[in-house]
Structure 1
Amino acid sequence: MTQRFSTLFMLLVLLALTACQPISMDTKPSAPEMTSLISEAEKRGDYAVAAEDYLAQAAESEGALKSAFQYRAAMMQYELGELAEADALLAETNLEQLSSREQLTANLLRADIAVLNLDGQRALTHLDKIDFNSANQAQQKRILELRITAYDLTENMLEKALAHIKLDPKLPESERENNHLVLWQTLLKMTPQALDLYNPGQPPAEDSGWFALAYAFKAYENNPEAMEVAIEDWQYSYPNHPADIEQLKKSIKTPLRLPEKLDLIAILLPDSGPAANAAQAIRQGIIAAHFNARSNVRLQFYDVRTDNTADSNNVITQYEKAVADGANIVIGPLDKTSVELLAKHDELTIPVLALNRINENKTTEQHNFFQFALAPEDDARNQAEYAKKKGYQRAIVLSPRNEWGDRVAEAFTNEWQKSDGQIVTRAKYDESENDYSHILTPILGVENSNQRYQNLRRTLGLSLEFEPRRRQDVDFLFMVGRPLKARQLLTQLRFYRSGQLPILATSHAYGGEPNARQDIDLNGLIFTEIPWMFSEQSEQDPAYAAIRRQASGDVGTFIRLAALGVDAYRIIPFLTAMSHSEDEKYNGATGVLTVNQQGQIERTMTFTTIQNGLIEPLNNE
């Protein structure tokens, strides 16, 4: 999703500009009246008070003045993150009574809110009301960015591609390469026939060149020799085109092609070492899925040593042994070192479905190397996307003081800030402690509330009734914690007046086994979870019953890992289609699965909450 429009600076600049425009006396308030609309509360940044002031004045006004007050109230609501209220106010406002600049701003804002609500068609309706040529350069850029996202939501690849092309000259040089790559991926989702029919120009025009190049790749994707000839012809027709052909070639992942009939699946997992317990749960998941499928395919397990250095790692030897044994595909390895070594191997003659993910700053050129993991970073990114969809803007981040906590918090922060989300404060807690008052009262602002009370009491010399209040400048708190700490933290957060502040977390906060008496402390927590954690879904899966009988110890972790093994086995017949298109989905035990251009299997999980101590899907999320 593109970044959200309307930083505070841009909105105030636009508002100031509108206040200075010539206004017709018979339809709009006079210039002095318009200037007086900007309240003192807005000037000092107190948007909640400003919104109330504007609404009160709108109720006492009529005609254009009423519309102007409603417009400003909507702007304040937007700045407060109250998107539904802002949109409703603008819907009630007679925009035709506003200046042309205000009308443009209002329609942009409504389109932005529609995009945040994933309503592409409504966003386009608002954008169609804007005179593109009357907008300034920054506004034109934003209009096109919103159109791109809206067309993506409505799956209109043609218009999305044309919008990317129109956006390109408005971007700084540093952003054009990424725009070209996204444009390229958009064009590749169109058929050769559509690329040829809707080509918007003729050689050597730049827009025509993009469509013609995509046509050459799509029409001859199964005929490399013909494709090379077509590309040479294209280069002759479009000699100065900005497309970097070699870079675009790299972005095209060669689709996997498995034999129609599999004989042997090799599984590379450790029998001992630090990853042995996790490997055992995954192994049980693979076996349960295999038994349930009643397949004639053979399974063969290969021990990969994980308690060693990279120099003595045996993963390459075991992979080559699997190839020699006639395996058609490999599931594994599990530990990150082995995955990275196999990803760098000179030639992978059979596909690999690794059960971990290589570091993001490392890449692989392998075309039949897939990565499937239950990475905690994925949970964190999902929660950032959830918060963005809800229209939140300001967050508190709370995580344990260790490497795991830093990883998850960093993943959330990076994803959150990509969409212009703000981190108001970040705090770390020690998992060995039980009392977190020294951490929670500062981040919730309770100390400041107490201090204000003490100052007021000293000033007045009176004893006053007082109830501490938490800070009001945050929209939610993102918490990283395992079940015991999550329960402790939520209990103490409520004690220190967190009130209705939404608390978001990763799946690690939930133990995975129904225990209403214990988990009632998690009531209201919002987190993501795999489908197998919901009885109505897991009970329909025959493999789940076999897994559940074997689960012991940390039941939640065991079931999640076993579900990973089940999906790793079951997804194999679908990998060919999924590697062709990111639109191909598989509904698995760990979530809705897709394969991205990097060969990573991405999971979309269910947003979940706890009610009366029991897990349940979050409605309408």
Structure 2
Amino acid sequence: MPLRSPSFPRCVKRLAVLALPGLLITACATAPDTPTAQRGGITSPIRVVEIDSTAPLQLPPSEYSALFGEAETALAQRDWRGAEASLAELSAQPMTPDDEDYLAYLRARIAWQLGNVGAMEDALLGLSRSETAPAISDRILSLQHERHSMAGDSLIAAQIGAERLILGGDEASQLQIRQQLWQDLYSISLDDLRRAREVTPDSEWRAWLDLAIVTTDSRLSSDAVRTGYDQWLMRHPGHPAADPLGGGVDQWLVEQQPTQSIALMLPLGGRLAPAAKAVRDGFLANYYEARAQGLSTQTVMIIDTGLYSTASAAYQDAVSRGADIVVGPLNRASVDELSQLPQRPVPLLTLNRAEAPITGDPGTLIQLALAADDDADTLAKRAYGQGLRRALIVRPSGEWGNNQARTVANRWRALGGAVAANATYTNQASHSGALKTALRLDDSEQRARDVRDMLATNVEFTARRRDDIDVVFLLARSGADARSIKPLLAFHYAGDLPVYATSSVYSGIPDNRDRDLDGINMVEAPWLLGANPEARVAIAAGDTGSDSYPRLNALGADAFKLQQRYPQLNAGSDFLLRGDTGLLRLGPKGAITRETQLATFEGGSLTAQ
């Protein structure tokens, strides 16, 4: 059977699409006679229409097109005030049903930019008519997708993507929707995919989930994936899910040429030795597990880069000894050196990111790293997805803190958030003072003193913090700092603010003192949240002590997965792999980016959300 299914018919389809504020159900039939409309349920169905699936979706004609366009332009520039001003001119104007729907959508976007998720849902819930134009429906679904995707509600986001595909549109927009849909599906754990598959009443959506279960499992061999795909295709010929397969899996199945010899280059002596051994143990744990299951016949040679004068010399030796792929090195200076080689005869999967411009064939240099940028990206998106918009950034003074704060602030502002204040501390003794100043409690206390002086009497007083902050980004460098700062937020009248932190606040090793971190939302690698338990048990049983560096164990484990799926990287920006450090994607210049998971401290333990 051929790899790809026949193309889904590009013909005119009769559709009914249901828009929901919290959940979507697909219906490929006519609309029900008695629509429902309630929060979290199904709104009234959108118009049943004839759609040309290859043509761009066009907004219906309106005498208010200019004002609607002004509002769209303002919202694209995050100017919600300008959008409101444009829409205010429509307040007393007679409107067609299409105009009313479009106006409700634009008001929902304004509410979203302000972080008012409830008002956004209310505006969309107001679409209680039985008909909505497809182009407006697509905009509504796109807005709903943005909200749920950012919040980490990947199952709902994926359902919305499937609905948008049914609406049709031009090829470019359909491709973009499909890419995002597969990214959402890869973001859902296999257990959650299976649970969703069991409860969905919709056969078309169940087919999406069935295919995702087969193709997103990074533990399966190419033969197992191909067999599962072929069986799925026989049951669902012409289904849009396979046109093409997501994540670049079809590239892997078609182009796979398994490597036979891997060289793992690490500095096994000196300052970086503990980190290197942790990476090695993670790599070998996945390697031996794959061999035990008959999923790999590769051989591994371990090369100590400390025994060579340069990283290039170690790489050339690995090539001369027959390596088909080289994994490593670990430190950035060595990665920079190898990035300057005019030729790399065998592919190189580094364990850090190059800072220097890459020369030679960029396709032969793939860079996997535990980059702080990846944590910052997930952190900002998850907070924004909850409707939070104005942040207090708490960070240590110095270069590390400045870099962390700059990265998070850049990601946050790019989404549309604002940094209302910064609290910078120099040591643990300065935590309280830094928070007090940033929260403007000194101003509150001064006002109380002024009142006392004016009245010449004692006045009962409770300090009040500034009210223009709705989230705290805690960028502490250690668990000790975080355990001190989290209780101080409550002491300084900011205990009601949600706190989001990077993985630097947690060592990865359980500690009873972490009860002081309860309530913190943290981005973390799946490895520390229960993923790949067999490999973690094997590393602990090896008694090398490397399990004290769990994130580096996860980095090594992902390096093994990536080198196995190297042909899949030919899919470029479509590439996706569910890894132990996060959801892996291929970014510009061969850099692998990671989308980590959000977790919460409860009872001193970290629990995945």
Q: What TM-score results when the alignment is normalised by the length of structure 2?
A: 0.63
Letter in 2 for 1:443: A
**Does the CA contact (< 8 Å) of 2:78 and 2:416 recur in 1?**
no
Pair 1:157–1:533, CA change in 2 (3 A): farther
CA distance in 2, matches of 1:510, 1:610: 10
Deviation string, structure 1 residues 233-266 (Cα, Å, up to 9, x no partner): xxxxxxxxxxxxxxxxxxxxxx899873433211
**Does the CA contact (< 8 Å) of 1:578 and 1:594 recur in 2?**
no
Partner of 1:545: 537
Measure how far apart 1:71 and its partner are: 12
CA distance in 1, matches of 2:123, 2:313: 66
Compare CA radii of gyration and give the structure with the larger one: 1
Query: Aligned match of 1:560 in 520, 539, 551?
Result: 551
Letter in 2 for 1:265: I
Pair 1:472–1:80, CA change in 2 (3 A): farther
**Would you say 1:115 and 2:153 are equivalent positions?**
no
**Does the CA contact (< 8 Å) of 1:512 and 1:555 recur in 2?**
no
Partner of 2:437: 442
**Does the CA contact (< 8 Å) of 1:444 and 1:471 recur in 2?**
yes
Pair 1:450–1:114, CA change in 2 (3 A): farther
**Would you say 1:370 and 2:366 are equivalent positions?**
yes
CA distance in 2, matches of 1:404, 1:23: 55
CA distance in 2, matches of 1:359, 1:524: 36
Measure how far apart 1:278 and its partner are: 0.8
Moved more, 109-118 or 323-332: 109-118
Letter in 2 for 1:458: D
SS in structure 2 opposite 1:318? helix
- 5 Å-filtered alignment, 1:161-560, equals 260-294=257-291, 295-305=296-306, 314-359=310-355, 365-430=361-426, 432-481=427-476, 482-515=478-511, 517-535=512-530, 537-539=531-533, 541=534, 543-550=535-542, 558-560=549-551
**Does the CA contact (< 8 Å) of 1:440 and 1:493 recur in 2?**
yes
CA distance in 2, matches of 1:158, 1:349: 45
**Does the CA contact (< 8 Å) of 2:150 and 2:381 recur in 1?**
no
**Would you say 1:574 and 2:565 are equivalent positions?**
yes
Pair 1:73–1:339, CA change in 2 (3 A): closer
CA distance in 1, matches of 2:258, 2:114: 58
Measure how far apart 1:353 and its partner are: 0.5
User: What's the RMSD between the two structures over aligned residues?
Assistant: 4.3
Letter in 1 for 2:540: R
Partner of 2:19: none
CA distance in 1, matches of 2:115, 2:552: 38
Measure how far apart 1:370 and its partner are: 0.6
Letter in 1 for 2:590: G
CA distance in 1, matches of 2:174, 2:161: 11
Letter in 2 for 1:489: I
Letter in 2 for 1:439: A
Letter in 2 for 1:414: N
Deviation string, structure 1 residues 147-206 (Cα, Å, up to 9, x no partner): xxx9799468984665699xxxxxxxxxxxxxxxx99x99xx9xxxxxxxxxxxxxxxxx
Query: Aligned match of 2:115 in 75, 78, 81?
Result: 81
SS in structure 2 opposite 1:598? helix
Partner of 1:12: 81
Pair 1:160–1:352, CA change in 2 (3 A): farther
- 5 Å-filtered alignment, 1:103-142, equals 112=143, 115-118=146-149
CA distance in 2, matches of 1:554, 1:268: 17
Equivalenced residue count is 444
**Does the CA contact (< 8 Å) of 1:564 and 1:589 recur in 2?**
yes
**Does the CA contact (< 8 Å) of 2:344 and 2:361 recur in 1?**
no
Measure how far apart 1:512 and its partner are: 1.4
Pair 1:362–1:87, CA change in 2 (3 A): farther
CA distance in 1, matches of 2:150, 2:303: 49
Q: Which structure 2 segments of 5+ residues have no match?
A: 1-71, 96-103, 130-134, 152-159, 184-250
Query: Aligned match of 1:605 in 588, 596, 599?
Result: 596
Partner of 1:616: 607
Measure how far apart 1:465 and its partner are: 2.7
Measure how far apart 1:360 and its partner are: 8.2
Pair 1:601–1:158, CA change in 2 (3 A): farther
Q: Sequence identity, in percent?
A: 28
CA distance in 1, matches of 2:347, 2:523: 30
Partner of 2:66: none
Deviation string, structure 1 residues 561-601 (Cα, Å, up to 9, x no partner): 11211221133221212332444433222222232353222
Measure how far apart 1:424 and its partner are: 1.2
Letter in 2 for 1:303: D
SS in structure 2 opposite 1:367? helix
Deviation string, structure 1 residues 285-321 (Cα, Å, up to 9, x no partner): 2222222233543222222249xxxxx9611111111
**Does the CA contact (< 8 Å) of 2:475 and 2:505 recur in 1?**
yes
CA distance in 2, matches of 1:408, 1:585: 26
Pair 1:11–1:318, CA change in 2 (3 A): closer
